[in-house]
Amino acid sequence: MTEVQTKALAGIREQFPVLEREMRGKPLIYLDNGATSLKPKRVIDAELGYYRTNSTNIHRGVYELSEAATEQYDSARAAVAGFVNAANPQEIIFTRGTTESINLVGYSWGRTFLEAGDEIVTTELEHHSNLVVWQEVANATGAALRFLPLRDDSSGLADGAVEATIGEKTKLVAITGMSNVTGYMPPLADIIARAHAVGAVVLVDGAQLVAHHPVDVQALDIDFLAWSGHKMCGPSGIGALYAKESLLERMPPFHYGGDMIERVWADRATYAPLPEKFEAGTPNIAGAIGMGEAVRFLESVGLDRIADHEHDLIAYTLEHARRHSDLTVYGGTGSASRGGIFSFNLGDVHSHDVGMILDSAGIAVRAGFHCAQPLMRRFGIPGTVRASYYLYNTREEIDALFTAFDRVREIFG
C-alpha cells in the first residue's frame, strides 16, 4: 500500500465512530460486514438531523416542514436510483430491506404471473430470503423450483449450468449477486442474457453485491434488484427494490392502505401511480434519508475503489490461508469472481467456539449457518466462521485474525 492509500484509509476509518471503541478491552476489529456495516458519522447525522429539525410526515402536509421532509425523502429516492443507474426514480420502491423487497416481488409479481408448468430457477447458494419466498410462491401457484447445478466443491455454478437449466419453462430466475457465505459472484450478464432469451425475468438478490461493487441495472438489464440500507453504511429498517417500470405498472400492490391510493369509495379503490402504489402507510422517512446519505458517502469514496480494496483484502487473506493446513476455506481458494468474504473452519473446532475466542481478541466475526442451510448441507457441516470485509478494513486486521487462530489452536490443540 502506498503512503497516499494508507492516509486515505485512515481518513475513511475516522468517519466511523464505532471503530474508535474497544471490544473485550481490545481495539475493535470489525469483520462482520456481511451481517451489517458500520455507519459513518454523516449518515448518523442525516438520520438524527431529520428527527431534530423536522420530524414531520411526508406527502400530506401543506406546510413548510412537511414539504421539506417530502423533498428530502424524494431526494433520497433519486440518490438511490442514481446509485444503481435506474432509468428514473419511480423504479425505486423503499422497503424494509432485501427480505421485504424479495417478498414484494414474490407476492405481487410471482403470485400474479406464475402458474403450474412454469419454473422458478434459483441456486442452493441463496440466503433463505431468496429461497423460502420462492418455495412459498411455488406452493401457492403450482410452479416448480429448479436449481442451477453447482460445482462439486460448491464454489460456483457448474460449467454449462445456465444453458442446461434455464429453458422455455423458466419464468423467473432468482439469484444472488454475491453469496453471503463464500463471496462467490455468479456471471450475472450471462444468466440475464439467457433468461431474457427464453422470455424469463431475473431477480438479483443484491444484499451483498450492491454495497461493495458498482451495479448498473440498465447495463446489466436487471429486472428486479433487491438490497438493504444497513449493509451499505445506511440505517437498518430501510432498503430498496429496483424494478423496471414496465413490470411495476403491471403488478398489483403488495400492501394496501393509506398513501398508496388515488381514490377510495366505500367498496373499492384505485391506486396511486408509481412509486406510491407500492409504499402503503407512513414509510421509514428517517431511514430513507439516511440511506440517501449512505449512497452519497459511498459515491464520494467510489464503488470501484471499494471493490478494488476488498479484492486486495480477500486475495491477501487467501494467500495467508494457503499457509495453514488446518484451515478449510469454503468457496474455493481463488479470488476471481469473489467479493470480500472469507468462510472457513479451523481444524475440527466448532465455528461458535472459534467465534468466541476471536471475540475475546476484539475480533467480530459471524459463526453459524449464515441463513444458508442448503449450502451448509452441501458442505456437510453445521456452519462456518465468516470474516467479511468493507472499505474500512485493513491488512493489519487480517494479520490479527490469523494471529488469533493460534489462541484457538492452543485451547483446542
Ligand X SMILES: Cc1ncc(COP(=O)(O)O)c(C=O)c1O
Which positions are catalytic? Answer: 371
Specify the length of the chain in residues.
Answer: 413
Find the shortest distance in angstroms from Cβ 97 to ligand X: 3
In the range 112-141, which residues lie near ligand X by CB under 6 A? 127, 129-130
| C-beta atoms surrounding 8 within 10 Å | 15
Cell of 226: 433487491
Of residues 231 and 244, the one with the C-beta less far from ligand X: 231
In the range 180-199, which residues lie near ligand X by CB under 6 A? 180
Binding test (CB under 6 A) with ligand X, winner from 165, 228, 343, 394: 228
Find the shortest distance in angstroms from Cβ 347 to ligand X: 27
Of residues 54 and 393, the one with the C-beta less far from ligand X: 393
Taking a C-beta distance cutoff of 8 angstroms, is the pair 306, 212 a contact?
yes
Of residues 54 and 384, the one with the C-beta less far from ligand X: 384
Binding test (CB under 6 A) with ligand X, winner from 33, 123, 170, 208: 208
Of residues 54 and 388, the one with the C-beta less far from ligand X: 388
Of residues 175 and 248, the one with the C-beta less far from ligand X: 175
Task: Give the N- to C-terminal CA distance of the chain in Å, as an integer.
Answer: 35
Binding test (CB under 6 A) with ligand X, winner from 54, 176, 351, 384: 176
Q: Is 317 in the site for ligand X (CB under 6 A)?
A: no
* Contact window for ligand X (CB under 6 A) among 92-100, 108-116, 277-285, 386-394: 92-100
Find the shortest distance in angstroms from Cβ 99 to ligand X: 3
Q: Is 205 in the site for ligand X (CB under 6 A)?
A: yes
Binding test (CB under 6 A) with ligand X, winner from 195, 207, 217, 260: 207
Of residues 34 and 292, the one with the C-beta less far from ligand X: 34
Find the shortest distance in angstroms from Cβ 328 to ligand X: 21
Find the shortest distance in angstroms from Cβ 372 to ligand X: 8
Number of residues that bind ligand X (CB under 6 A): 13
Find the shortest distance in angstroms from Cβ 64 to ligand X: 34
In the range 14-43, which residues lie near ligand X by CB under 6 A? 34
Q: Is 97 in the site for ligand X (CB under 6 A)?
A: yes
- Angstrom distance (rounded) from CA 224 to CA 293: 23
The binding site for ligand X (CB under 6 A) comprises: 34, 97-99, 127, 129-130, 176, 180, 205, 207-208, 228
